[in-house]
Structure 1
Amino acid sequence: MIVKNFVNLRVFVTSCLLLVSACGEEKGRIAGVGFHNDIKTRDPQILLSLIASTTTPDDSRLQADKIYKEIADPKSDARLAVLEQMFFAPGHSDAMRIHAIDELAAADPNRCARAFINYLPRLEENAGLDVLKHACTIAIKLQDPRLLAPLARSASNAVENTNAWSNRAALRELPELDALAQLADRPLADALLHVISTSREGAPRIAAFNLLQIDHPALPRTWSDRTQRVQDLSDLFQKRIPYDVFCNNLRTYFGLFKDLPKGETEHAWVRTVLSSENLASTQQAAQTWPKQSTLREPRFIHAIQYGAARGAGKDFNAYADHIASLLKPLATTPREAAHAVDVPNSTGLPADRKHITFEDLLTIDLLLTAFQNPATINEFHRLGLEDMSDTTTEHGGLLSLKNPDKPDAVIAPYKPQFTDSDQRYAVSDDLLRDAIKGLALYHFHFHKIHNAALAGPGAGDMAFARKTRTNHIVITSVGPRQINIDYYTPNGLVVDLGTYTAKE
């Protein structure tokens, strides 16, 4: 009896569990979606949620959008907002992005154009080439001249990100270039000049100027010769481009350097070296300094001003020999080859001077002058000891000058971007922004008093200098009250500037 009742009870419980399981929600089901992904709901809000959902199958999303258009206003702000965010938001398939572009263009061409202005330059970050090609096709159909600028920015971003300036095969794959010419209804070069002439913002103008320098078959064939390209663009800027600060700087740049700036970084150099406070020094230097000069880099603004003030001459080798004679009597510091990168084991300029520019010599001259002031060495030593007491990070900042005519060093500490290692100084955005105002960025190797084995820049230090195009000094504790200082640059130059003793 007990056994029989137990068996019946087990059958009953099992049946109940099966019934509950059958009545439960199907695994993976989406609210508002029936079996086989059929859309059952007619609630506009749920439909919009389905359209926007990146976890809903594309066919269900398309069906939801179709139903929404049947039961609600297809031009409603809520629907258009969903379509617009699908342009750029991550997670959407290319097919859904193309659908969103088509639907937004059909419902509200002006809003679609505004979306292109905002998102087209960044579209490739989340979308495939097919989406970009389709967006360019729609941009041509919209016939909105405001789209010339984002098309130029999008193409320029692709060129810079892939370094495809002379890669004809890659450049032919850029759909924005054909769209630019068709939308402007003029040859590509004229379309780009039109962007420069009509844009009020710097980014589209820089992008268009970048694209004037690519090796593309739609541009004049004679421009394969860079000298001819520089001359032609210089002439075009004289005749057809308005006289404003941006274009005037480029005209001056053409004349001084017989070259063209590429990319946002080099255009930042243009704005700096040709600014009102630096133009006279730059012009003087361009006319009189030797071929080893690098006037176009803002990291040398102090050096350019200093050299112009003292009437620096044309003889590079004579000046290099002079700097070498200043370095020779300074104390030497042993190196650990595993740490230092191409660092000489004694003070002085490297025998091979291919990485040295005339401005490097001027900068070293300025640094050596600054280090003759005991207050400068004392302050570096004090800040280094503060670094030694902080085991969460290295410390650093910016070394600048009060007066290039009579150099007086100004040492400005900057907090690191973050702290995660006693053997790393994470340069902050503020310091990078202000780097142009100084002679060099500095940081300390003050892990212990006797730290000579780690004197000089490490591989990470050199890589950072190359990436940011900035000059640096690294200050190492090599004994009680003794510091060693090394200068290094993005070109791979490393110069041991000697060992100095802080006063009591």
Structure 2
Amino acid sequence: MQRKPTAWLFVPVAACCFAGCASGPEEIERPAIATARDPQATATARIEAIGRVWDSVQSGEAAAESTREALKSIAWSRSTYWTIRAAAIDELMEDVERRPDTANMLRLMLPTEPDPKIVEKACAMASAHGWKELAPAIVRRWSRPLEGRPDAERPENAALAALFPERPVADSIFEVFIEEGRSASGEALTGPEALRRERERLAAWTLLQRVDPGHERTANLLAGVTDTGGDPLLEALSAGARELRLVPGTGEQLDWLKRLRAAEGGALWRRSAELVARLDGAQARGLALRHMGALRWADAHHSPWLGMSTGQLLEEAAQELKGRERVARAAASDSGRDELLATWKDSLCWGDALLLLVALKLESDTDSVGALFAIAEKDKQDTSTEHGGVIGDGGAGAPGAGGRFTVFHYPPRPMQRQGDRNFEASPDLLENSTGALFHFHMHAQKYTNAEYAGPSSKDLDYAETFGAACIVFTFVAQNRLNADLYLPTGAIIDVGVLHKAG
């Protein structure tokens, strides 16, 4: 198809004179799709042009397929104002025979779409047209928290309720979790598709735990699965509930549960299950993945703790804390929480009280304390990021073990470094944290950093997401590091100052 020129055409003045031309310059009209795609044109002009693109196709001025692709590129353009993108989506829907293709475009857009107006529009369209195949994309998008927008008011919630009115929304999310683990042929998923599907499923699990925080509906849904079909996530969930008495609270924690089941040929899992089986009902209340390492550590190094009640553990912790030097965070903290055991003791379950006692023993392991100071010094010299890692059991066979703990340093990778006051957990850290006791990072920008002695709200979010028991170490002097334990529940407890040997 021959398109008209898209530039202004001016007839030379001399030619006009010879022809007796009295009119001014003549403008040749631009094709509608050219104006529609022009980022320099006004939003009004672009939307008006989008409304004329099919007229151009019918008149033969433009090809249908190239026009459709141009509209899709506008719809996808996240730098384009949402009203223009919405107009392009509406115009794509005018191509009735290709509506399945439009639905597929929205399926691909939704999981990472940043504009809430486009998300709202896509969800409304899915509801209106019964596009049930968009459910996984809707769940993936909904799994991303939206500040100031409760889950009950999210358009994704409304869309799932409209698409599946016969069942609770939680059931629809669980169905996505189950179905995304299956291929159309019933064969095991492999390669990039398997990785993509697992991301979808972990996102679905995160969302399910948000809408079912008490895990009651989740437990009923899991109980209804009689055949896991070799699905590693389902098998881990089933075994976790049965043998470890826990349900992971996020997709990241579900991934941790799956890794624990496979770690060391299943040895860590079996030992954890044996110890959980010995606990009474009060001790098992609130059990989570973060407690498994503490159970194994206590069994190896301080077994009497396993026979104590929550109150007895907390009393011993209080005695340990007496006389310890502690440093409160002085800077305006966006976490807004204090760091005293007295503040948090009533909210700590038995497993958290056990973790606290384990953390309090760290100061007596001189090799591990020395390793932490060495990492803090590296952090102080590196202004591109904060450093961190994991603390594990220093039992026989652990690399570099010299006491009852082992410290592993996993600095963020180059692409993760976001400045001297940010820590990002590297894939190496997460992969090697399966059997760890604690995740840790440093606040070591200077030797006198007491004003930042404690976790930020971002640090607390990290603990909640990954379900880990965490410690932040802060330089308060060249030979002193303050240690603050913080938990996924939001509890923060200052466990005292570590002193550098010599």
Task: Tell me how far 1:402 sits from its aligned partner.
Answer: 5.6
Name the counterpart of 1:447: 446
Output the CA distance in 2 between the equivalents of 1:125 and 1:420. Answer: 29
Name the counterpart of 1:280: 270
Would you say the 8 A contact 2:460–2:490 is kept in 1?
A: no
Q: Secondary structure at the match of 1:248?
A: helix
Percent pairwise identity = 15
| Aligned partner letter, 2:238 | R
Name the counterpart of 1:11: none
Q: Secondary structure at the match of 1:443?
A: strand
- Structure 1 residues 175 and 164 mapped into 2: Cα distance closer, same or farther (>3 Å)? farther
Output the CA distance in 2 between the equivalents of 1:435 and 1:188. Answer: 35
Q: Secondary structure at the match of 1:233?
A: helix
Output the CA distance in 2 between the equivalents of 1:191 and 1:404. Answer: 45
Would you say the 8 A contact 1:288–1:314 is kept in 2?
A: no
- Structure 1 residues 82 and 476 mapped into 2: Cα distance closer, same or farther (>3 Å)? same
- Structure 1 residues 467 and 97 mapped into 2: Cα distance closer, same or farther (>3 Å)? farther
> Aligned pairs, how many?
436
Name the counterpart of 2:315: 321
Residues 154-199 of structure 1 deviation map (CA, whole Å, 9 limit, x = unaligned): 04633763599997676796124333569xxx99888766645543
Please point out which of 83, 92, 100 is paired with 2:71.
83
Would you say the 8 A contact 1:371–1:377 is kept in 2?
A: yes
| Aligned partner letter, 1:303 | A
Please point out which of 38, 49, 58 is paired with 2:47.
58
Please point out which of 29, 34, 41 is paired with 1:49.
34
Q: Secondary structure at the match of 1:474?
A: strand
Would you say the 8 A contact 1:261–1:270 is kept in 2?
A: yes
Please point out which of 455, 469, 472 is paired with 1:471.
469
| Aligned partner letter, 1:376 | S
- Structure 1 residues 238 and 309 mapped into 2: Cα distance closer, same or farther (>3 Å)? farther
Name the counterpart of 1:342: 338
Would you say the 8 A contact 2:124–2:159 is kept in 1?
A: yes
Name the counterpart of 2:424: 427
Please point out which of 400, 405, 408 is paired with 1:408.
405
| Aligned partner letter, 1:332 | E
Output the CA distance in 2 between the equivalents of 1:443 and 1:85. Answer: 45
Larger Rg: 1
Residues 385-442 of structure 1 deviation map (CA, whole Å, 9 limit, x = unaligned): 444455x467421132264577332241515844655xx2433554774584442212
Name the counterpart of 2:180: 199
Give unpaired runs (5+ residues) of structure 1.
Answer: 1-21, 26-32, 35-39, 141-146, 216-222
Would you say the 8 A contact 1:456–1:476 is kept in 2?
A: yes
Name the counterpart of 1:486: 484
| Aligned partner letter, 1:318 | Q
Name the counterpart of 1:219: none
Q: Secondary structure at the match of 1:427?
A: coil
Would you say the 8 A contact 2:86–2:118 is kept in 1?
A: no
Q: Does 1:379 align with 2:371?
A: yes
| Aligned partner letter, 2:159 | P
| Aligned partner letter, 2:68 | L
Q: Secondary structure at the match of 2:472?
A: strand
Task: Tell me how far 1:332 sits from its aligned partner.
Answer: 1.6
Give unpaired runs (5+ residues) of structure 2.
Answer: 1-22, 182-196, 397-402
Aligned CA-pair RMSD: 4.5
Output the CA distance in 2 between the equivalents of 1:491 and 1:225. Answer: 14
| Aligned partner letter, 2:138 | S
- Equivalence map 1:359-370=2 (5 Å): 359-370=351-362
Would you say the 8 A contact 1:484–1:499 is kept in 2?
A: yes
Would you say the 8 A contact 1:120–1:151 is kept in 2?
A: no
| Aligned partner letter, 2:50 | R
Name the counterpart of 2:238: 251
Output the CA distance in 2 between the equivalents of 1:286 and 1:353. Answer: 22
Would you say the 8 A contact 1:454–1:476 is kept in 2?
A: no
Would you say the 8 A contact 1:84–1:104 is kept in 2?
A: no
Q: Does 1:127 align with 2:118?
A: yes
Q: Does 1:115 align with 2:105?
A: yes
Output the CA distance in 1 between the equivalents of 2:165 and 2:68. Answer: 29
Task: Tell me how far 1:380 sits from its aligned partner.
Answer: 2.9
Residues 281-308 of structure 1 deviation map (CA, whole Å, 9 limit, x = unaligned): 4433443336465776444453243246
Output the CA distance in 2 between the equivalents of 1:235 and 1:375. Answer: 47
Task: Tell me how far 1:372 sits from its aligned partner.
Answer: 2.6
- Equivalence map 1:171-250=2 (5 Å): 174-180=158-164, 195-200=176-181, 201-205=197-201, 227=216, 229-230=217-218, 232-238=220-226, 242-250=229-237
Output the CA distance in 2 between the equivalents of 1:373 and 1:262. Answer: 32
Would you say the 8 A contact 2:410–2:429 is kept in 1?
A: no
Would you say the 8 A contact 1:474–1:487 is kept in 2?
A: yes
Output the CA distance in 2 between the equivalents of 1:193 and 1:333. Answer: 45
Please point out which of 96, 108, 131 is paired with 2:87.
96
Output the CA distance in 2 between the equivalents of 1:488 and 1:385. Answer: 23
Q: Secondary structure at the match of 1:161?
A: coil
Q: Secondary structure at the match of 2:494?
A: strand
Name the counterpart of 1:289: 279
Please point out which of 125, 128, 141 is paired with 1:157.
141
| Aligned partner letter, 2:51 | L
Would you say the 8 A contact 1:394–1:443 is kept in 2?
A: no
Output the CA distance in 1 between the equivalents of 2:497 and 2:209. Answer: 47
TM-score, with structure 1 as normaliser: 0.68
Q: Secondary structure at the match of 1:414?
A: coil
- Structure 1 residues 373 and 293 mapped into 2: Cα distance closer, same or farther (>3 Å)? same
| Aligned partner letter, 2:424 | V
Q: Secondary structure at the match of 1:60?
A: helix
Residues 178-227 of structure 1 deviation map (CA, whole Å, 9 limit, x = unaligned): 33569xxx998887666455433235545666787898xxxxxxx99974
Would you say the 8 A contact 2:329–2:450 is kept in 1?
A: yes
**Which stretch of structure 1 is more off in the superposition, 253-262 or 375-384?**
253-262
Task: Tell me how far 1:71 sits from its aligned partner.
Answer: 1.6
Would you say the 8 A contact 2:460–2:486 is kept in 1?
A: no
Output the CA distance in 1 between the equivalents of 2:215 and 2:390. Answer: 38
TM-score, with structure 2 as normaliser: 0.68
| Aligned partner letter, 2:293 | H
